[in-house]
Amino acid sequence: MSKQYKPSTPKGTRDFLPTVVQRRNYIFDTIKTVFEHYGYQPIETPAMENLETLTGKYGEEGDRLIFKILARGEKLNKALADFNQTNLTEEALRYDLTVPFARFVVQHQNDLAFPFRRYQIQPVWRADRPQKGRYREFFQCDADVIGTDSLRCEVEIVQMLDNVFTKLGLPVEIKINNRKLLTALAAYVGEADKLIPLTIAIDKLDKMPLDKVLADLDNQGFSAEAQTKLKTVLEAARDLTDSAALMDKMEQVFAGNADGEKGLEELRYVFSKVKTLGLETSKLRFDMSLARGLNYYTGAIFEVVPRTDEQVGSISGGGRYDDLTGVFGMPGMSGVGISFGADRIYDMLEARDGFPKNETAGTELLFVNFGETEADFCHELLGSIRKAGIRAELYPDASKMKKQMKYANDKQIKFVAMVGEDEMAADSVTLKNMESGEQELIGKNELISKLKML
């Protein structure tokens, strides 16, 4: 060992310390509880999928960001020898949870009750350059219902989003649009074949002025007439902040276009049901400039942004896909889902000091270790204390008291029990409150009731 390897996690990945994990679990648990209240059931899928399962589902950009797993052993040697690059990798880490879910549904269709509601909280991997709030490994919390095209599912998604962010104390705006409107828009301006570049360009409108976006489209070969038409529509979309007014406006624009009329009808349905049912803290807004990159979406699309001054990325997104299972041999399964970005929600909550206090699951009581016989006495007590639901531990070594007390202090353990010769003789313990510094002698049978009172 000549050189010391300096330890670090791979680029864009992180370790999580205990307090961070506890806070992350708070987010996961909140989301999970809401999902379960709506009848969603948990599933898990492998970290890796066959490369074929993933490629072609996320668009050109997405394919590039798939984390591929290099072939090993003979296969690798053979592929290298043949210069056959396509065989260099057969597997890849999952890029999201939706496509693996589609694969899952097709594979297990006979074991599932449709419409099938599942939720899934697992890490996904993307091979892009990390920056703030953006990692190569991050967790997604997805809920999807597949096997129905009922718009009530969209309504429930809005409700779930509202429930989760209300519980988390994070006021949000839920932006909603419909891919059918984007299809209609492309047709309306006479560029029906350029739907994808159009959606990508429109998606930039919240970051870029309209003229720049139009200039982008000019480069993509959009006609001058298309650009003028787009400008009119998108300006209206930008200036009409009232969703109802914007829908009325789009009604005029898309009159006679089947996709446009259908999209608006869907939107109006969701809005009217949400209005009747009511939202706690969230705002729902129709946003024509919401497009979303993933090109499997066909109906409603959602994105959630915090209602704060800072400009941050979306913390949740989703939409309806009509035929994601089709490529796996099961056509006609419509589904709709939502995905929460736990890492970004974490960053948001941390910035606003929004985690609950006293939510730690740390040790409540530490027994100081004075030696073998004293430790035996404490160890016996621990059984009933733990059964009573108190988180307690015995310091494993008979180290110096100062060291043991410091350990309790560092771990923010609220109570320390000291049992030496005197206490053992009196069949009791000295209980010290680490916050006040007070301590008292307590009979061992009263210890549990005493602790429960405090």
Partner RNA sequence: GUGGUUGUAGCUCAGUUGGUUAGAGCGCCUGGUUGUGGUCCAGGAGGUCGUCGGUUCGAACCCGAUCUUCCACCCCA
Q: What is the DSSP string of 408-446?
A: HHHTT-SEEEE--HHHHHTTEEEEEETTT--EEEEETTT
Beta-carbon contacts of 80 under 8 Å, excluding residues fewer than 6 positions away, are 88
Is 211 labeled as ligand-binding? no
Is 292 labeled as ligand-binding? yes
Is 296 labeled as ligand-binding? yes
x-marked contacts with RNA along 30-69 as a string, rule CB under 7 A: -----------------------------x-xx-xx----
Of positions 143, 341, 349, 415, contacts RNA by CB under 7 A: 341
Residue 394 binds RNA (CB under 7 A): no
Please tell me the distance from the alpha carbon of residue 178 to that of residue 160, in angstroms, as a whole number: 19
Q: What is the DSSP string of 113-132?
A: PSSEEEEEEEEEE--S--BT
Residue 138 binds RNA (CB under 7 A): yes
Please tell me the distance from the alpha carbon of residue 151 to that of residue 268, in angstroms, as a whole number: 11
Number of residues in contact with RNA, rule: CB under 7 A? Answer: 64
Query: Are residues 331 and 144 in contact, defined by beta-carbon separation less than 8 angstroms?
Result: no
> What are the two backbone dihedrals, phi and then psi, of residue 418, each rounded to the nearest 5 degrees?
-115, 130
Residue 308 binds RNA (CB under 7 A): no
Residue 219 binds RNA (CB under 7 A): no
Q: Which residue has the tokens 């070969």?
A: 221
Nearer to RNA, 314 or 325 (CB): 314
Is 144 labeled as ligand-binding? yes
Nearest to 163 by CA among 41, 349, 346, 38: 38
Q: Is the N-terminal amide bond of 115 cis, ω within 30° of 0?
A: yes
The alpha carbon dihedral of 290, 58, 171, 153 has a sign of positive
Stretch of 7-15, 147-155, 227-235, 246-254 lying at the interface with RNA (CB under 7 A) = 7-15
Stretch of 172-180, 225-233, 313-321, 328-336 lying at the interface with RNA (CB under 7 A) = 313-321
Residue 204 binds RNA (CB under 7 A): yes
Residue 400 binds RNA (CB under 7 A): yes
Please tell me the distance from the alpha carbon of residue 113 to that of residue 115, in angstroms, as a whole number: 6
Residue 11 binds RNA (CB under 7 A): yes
Residue 177 binds RNA (CB under 7 A): no
Please tell me the distance from the alpha carbon of residue 305 to that of residue 348, in angstroms, as a whole number: 11
User: Given strand 365-367, what is the order of strands in its sheet?
Assistant: 392-394, 365-367, 415-418, 428-433, 439-443
Of positions 7, 10, 73, 278, contacts RNA by CB under 7 A: 10
Of positions 149, 279, 439, 450, contacts RNA by CB under 7 A: 439
Is 98 labeled as ligand-binding? yes
Q: What residues make contact with RNA under the rule CB under 7 A? A: 3-4, 6, 8, 10-12, 59, 61-62, 64-65, 96, 126, 128-136, 138, 140, 200, 203-204, 207, 292-294, 303, 313-317, 339, 341, 343-344, 370, 400-403, 405-406, 408-410, 416, 418, 420-423, 430, 432, 434-435, 437, 439
Binding-site residue positions for L-histidine:
96-98, 126, 140, 144, 292, 296-297
